[in-house]
Structure 1
Amino acid sequence: MRSTLFTVRLRLATAGGVSAPEDLRTETLTSPDGEVRVRNTRPLRRDPTGAPHLPGTTIAGSLRAHCTTIPALRDAFGPAPGAETRTASPIQVLGSITRTTTPPQHRGRTAIDRHRAAARTHTLHWNETLVAGTEFDIFLRWDDATEEQLTALDAALGHWNPRLGAGASLGAGRAQVIALGHRSYDLRSEAGLTDWLAITGPADYPAPHPLTPEPPPAPLLQRTLRIVEALHIGTGTTRPADGGGDGEIADIVTRNGTPIVPGSTLKGVLRSRVEYICRVLGAPACEHADCGHCRPCLLFGHGAPDENGTPGRARIAIGDAEIRHARREQRRHVAIDRFTGGARNQLLYTHDVITTGEFDLVIDHLGEHEPDPTDLALLTAALDDLHDGLIGLGARTTAGYGTVELTHPGPSPARTDLSALLPPGTP
């Protein structure tokens, strides 16, 4: 008998991690002015020691999908879910350890009411995520594998670019293999058996050797946008006014001090506009993003249509975009008393805003098949509407905020062309 152990070192290229929704935390926060808020946080999955955990099921599922097209590895991770015949996987995922100790970060998100075009009540929540650069060591075992199979697995692991955990369509959890090592033990020989029995923990597993990470696939669509008018994408929290002044300042989303446009914001705006374009052209577009059949649902993902249905993952991923050359300012607003026509008491508030800067909107393809030209045409049309100022990003778009434009507008599909590509009907 011969047993082979693999050590795979993964590094997160974007923030992410496997969450534990069953451990949802509810915290009560009190602001400096005494306002009480409830914050729901979806935490990361952790092991018994409290360290962030990468489950073996997540690893095995990703590797199965990655190796399906390789003849020598087609059944190496067992049959796909739903297969009539069930067999054990020849490759065992022994577990993983987290190598990086950087504290996780928290990101707030909310849903938008489709009728009011404003934040939906009671949907603000927080996700706990590992920062980009977090590393994991993954340990695999394969008994009695042929040399051809071991060579194929070694090559496949070197080209593995997984997306681990939730938020794949928002660019979260994209990882790269940065080191790889394996060793075979002949348990029929005295030396091989002695070395095998000397393994007492992860430190005794084969040391991974550095390798050049596989570059990510080329994006489906990439455009640079310039901020034309003040942009405010808030965190849902406030901080005391600078210099100890009155009132509080509504914070903007940042990463390591750099302002960003979250992928969830970009995806939400593009989805809403694609739905609008489909309706204008008479194509199906459901109202609650859960039918699972219309073009927007297939492109951007959808929830479960009913209690017996299953949600579907998006065909595309839109990640966070860092704002370059950002100029940050504070703008004050006050509510007007409708009876006196003057300023209302205690309703002066301040927004952090970005008045100038530019960022790259990058859309990656997640599907197993080639990108659909109709999807690309719809996304291009939505970006044209963003460039023309018909829609905006972030808060207070009805007050002139959030206007952006493409730095290099390209050719856009005519509505007649889109109409020919989209079949009419109802979702």
Structure 2
Amino acid sequence: MGQSIGTRIEVLGTLTCLGPVHIGGWDTTTEASLTIARDGKGQPFLPGTSIAGALRAYLAGLDLPRGGDPAAVTAALFGSITPNSQDGSPSWIRLDDAHLVADEVAPTVRDGVGIDRVSATAAANFLYTRQVLPAGTRFAFRLVADTPTATAPDYPGGWSTLVRDAVDALVTGLAQARVPIGAGRGRGFGRMGLGEVTIRSADLSDPAGLIAWLTGTAPAVSPPLTEDSSVRGDQPRDGRLRISIAWRPTGPLLVRDSLPGTVVDTLPLTDTAADGTVRLLLPGSSIRGVLRAHAERIVRTLRRQDAPADFNDALRQPPPGVDVLFGSAPAGDRDGRGHPAGHRGDGRGRRGTLAVADCHSIGQVDARQWNDIISISPDPTNPASRGERAERKERNSQREQARSGLHQELANIRQRLPLSVSDHVAIDRWTGGASDHRLFSVLEPSHRTEWEPISIDIDVTQLDRYGAAGIAGSTALALPLLLLVLRDLRDGWLALGFGGSRGRGQIEVTGVTFDGAGLSTPWQALAGQTLDTVLTAPPPQVTAAMTGWADTFEEAGA
């Protein structure tokens, strides 16, 4: 027997990628090991299941304006299944697949590599490629929420108020880009913003309302749906701590592109948006990797423990505090090395609660202009055979002409992207002179390059769930460990990007601010504070957390 429906609310809008987005597909390509989902026309799309899952997870950690248990509210709205039975409840919120607004879009490819904890170099057999949708890609969004006429849940105002408050909260979260969608959220993927929002509502239990809905004449309203709605722009109480780090490079800083240049050997990594603009890119995965490596170094130093020799063990067995902030891999026998499935706790991996967004340069250039720069090459014509020495001289002349053209192109964009070519040569250990065939060049952004602030997001609600699941020891170490890592980043101990051991990647942090609402203790004490304030005059909750951190290692004999 069907359920009776009262009011129906429909939300229409446009979801725009604010950074790279990846929702895994099922096909394979030669350019990437991880592809994106495509619809029947072969175009990228966002499955409704992925959007619904992201919204459900977001609502479960959100404090609605009239209170109520978030878990019970989420189960009532999105449905639930009683374990080991056929009982359950339906979902009153439905999401359509989101298809492209434009005709087509060209996905880009991101490379990923694991860093060995012992050698600090690329880990063997841990290189992968992933297709992502570029920033600016737009999708048509549709959400439908029904108000049942059945018995109301335990929420002030009943079903009608609950559905309206939930829709308000979800629209707000999407509009403010607080609901990541898809994979790779810890490395900054999945940031999407909802715009061009249109909301219409009709009472389907009333004949006039039903006719208005079916004929498309139901009145459209703009958020907020209620006078006290959070859509007005108030910060949602979603239990997420947001950290903004203002910084500037003190020297050359880049992440190396996997593809070599035609005139220079090493190019900086860039990101091409859907509108055809190119900016320098410092990936969230790169920043997150630096923070994770330093966090592991701190804890292992205090515990007087070496990093595991096997890279897979390092991923499965991170130190306490690191496991909940940055995540851990499943303990199953995935690589055939004979590890028992339960050799680490329950054998399941954990999703990290710390996410870092991609960081871009402020300056940008047109994609065509950038392609002209990186595609400059020597004249391919071959001189007539005049001996090896003459041919070498001719090739050097052609290369110098190409270099001259490159410098001219760089001069044209210097005000937007200050780049220069830096030549390097290896020194022969025996003669003390230049090593033969060891000359290489790098296209380097200078210290005058302006960058966006680094944005870090901590899902405190998920941390609390980990604590309730029996790993409270790790969650208690998360806050002190985070503050120590941020302090060392501020003090210049961490280098970002490529070539940190040879002087590149040094930065100067000019400010670190904390923001968030709906946070639990002790995290709530950071909201509205700066890192300098927290470290010089720590709130009592932070002092207690740091004292517990010290006691933990003293009891362990460290």
TM-score interval, smaller chain:
0.7 to 0.9
Counterpart code for 2:199: G
Residue 7 (str. 1) matches residue 33 (str. 2): no
Q: Please, which of 550, 555, 558 is the counterpart of residue 420 of structure 1? A: 550
Q: Identity over the aligned pairs, expressed in percent? A: 24
2:280: which partner in 1?
259
CA–CA distance in 2 between the matches of 1:187 and 1:108? 53
Q: 5+ unaligned residues in a row in structure 2: which ranges? A: 61-68, 150-158, 225-230, 272-276, 309-313, 334-340, 342-346, 364-416, 465-474, 512-530
CA–CA distance in 2 between the matches of 1:390 and 1:294? 22
CA–CA distance in 2 between the matches of 1:235 and 1:364? 26
CA–CA distance in 2 between the matches of 1:301 and 1:379? 14
Q: Is the 8 A contact 1:251 1:352 kept in 2?
A: yes
Q: Please, which of 172, 182, 191 is the counterpart of residue 159 of structure 1? A: 172
Q: Is the 8 A contact 2:241 2:459 kept in 1?
A: no
Cα 1:139–1:361 shift into 2, 3 Å: closer
For this pair of structures, how many residues does the alignment match? Answer: 403
Q: Is the 8 A contact 2:253 2:444 kept in 1?
A: yes
1:367: which partner in 2?
460
SS at match of 2:79: coil
Larger mean CA deviation between 417-426 and 254-263 belongs to 417-426
The aligned runs of 1:99-178 (5 Å cut-off) are 99-100=101-102, 101-133=104-136, 134-140=138-144, 142=146, 144=148, 147-160=160-173, 161-178=178-195
CA–CA distance in 1 between the matches of 2:450 and 2:83? 46
Counterpart code for 1:60: A
1:44: which partner in 2?
36
Q: Is the 8 A contact 2:329 2:349 kept in 1?
A: yes
Cα 1:56–1:206 shift into 2, 3 Å: farther
Counterpart code for 1:420: A
Counterpart code for 2:110: R
Residue 96 (str. 1) matches residue 107 (str. 2): no
Counterpart code for 2:181: L
CA–CA distance in 2 between the matches of 1:159 and 1:83? 36
SS at match of 2:77: coil
The aligned runs of 1:15-414 (5 Å cut-off) are 15-20=19-24, 22-27=26-31, 40-68=32-60, 69=69, 74-79=75-80, 85-100=87-102, 101-133=104-136, 134-140=138-144, 142=146, 144=148, 147-160=160-173, 161-178=178-195, 179-184=197-202, 186=204, 189=207, 192=210, 196=214, 214=233, 219-241=241-263, 248-255=264-271, 256-282=277-303, 287=308, 288-291=314-317, 294-307=320-333, 308=341, 309-324=347-362, 327-338=418-429, 340-356=431-447, 357=449, 359=451, 360-368=453-461, 374-408=477-511, 410=532, 411=535
Q: Deviation of residue 265 (structure 1)?
A: 1.2
Larger mean CA deviation between 110-119 and 342-351 belongs to 342-351
Q: Is the 8 A contact 1:170 1:267 kept in 2?
A: yes
Q: Is the 8 A contact 2:81 2:89 kept in 1?
A: no
SS at match of 1:269: helix
Cα 1:72–1:399 shift into 2, 3 Å: closer
Cα 1:49–1:229 shift into 2, 3 Å: same
Larger mean CA deviation between 57-66 and 331-340 belongs to 331-340
Q: Is the 8 A contact 1:24 1:43 kept in 2?
A: yes
Q: Deviation of residue 176 (structure 1)?
A: 3.3
Q: Is the 8 A contact 2:202 2:213 kept in 1?
A: no
CA–CA distance in 2 between the matches of 1:155 and 1:9? 14
TM-score, length basis structure 2: 0.62
Q: Is the 8 A contact 1:17 1:54 kept in 2?
A: no
CA–CA distance in 2 between the matches of 1:375 and 1:215? 28
CA–CA distance in 1 between the matches of 2:140 and 2:552? 44
- Summarize deviations over 1:13-56 as a string: whole Å, max 9, x none: 532334226434234xxxxxxxxxxxx34221111112222122
Cα 1:232–1:164 shift into 2, 3 Å: same
Q: Is the 8 A contact 2:188 2:355 kept in 1?
A: yes
Indicate the RMSD between aligned Cα atoms, in angstroms: 3.9
Q: Deviation of residue 278 (structure 1)?
A: 0.8
Higher strand share: 1
1:245: which partner in 2?
none
Q: Is the 8 A contact 1:229 1:402 kept in 2?
A: yes
Larger mean CA deviation between 283-292 and 205-214 belongs to 205-214
Q: Is the 8 A contact 1:232 1:351 kept in 2?
A: no
Cα 1:282–1:72 shift into 2, 3 Å: closer
Q: Deviation of residue 88 (structure 1)?
A: 3.2
Counterpart code for 2:127: L
Q: Deviation of residue 401 (structure 1)?
A: 1.9
CA–CA distance in 2 between the matches of 1:19 and 1:421? 43
Counterpart code for 1:77: F
CA–CA distance in 2 between the matches of 1:191 and 1:376? 52
Counterpart code for 2:184: G
Higher helix share: 2
SS at match of 2:122: coil
Counterpart code for 1:398: S
Q: Deviation of residue 183 (structure 1)?
A: 3.4
- Summarize deviations over 1:253-300 as a string: whole Å, max 9, x none: 223432232111111111111111111222889741323772101111
Q: Which has the larger Rg? A: 2
CA–CA distance in 1 between the matches of 2:36 and 2:318? 28
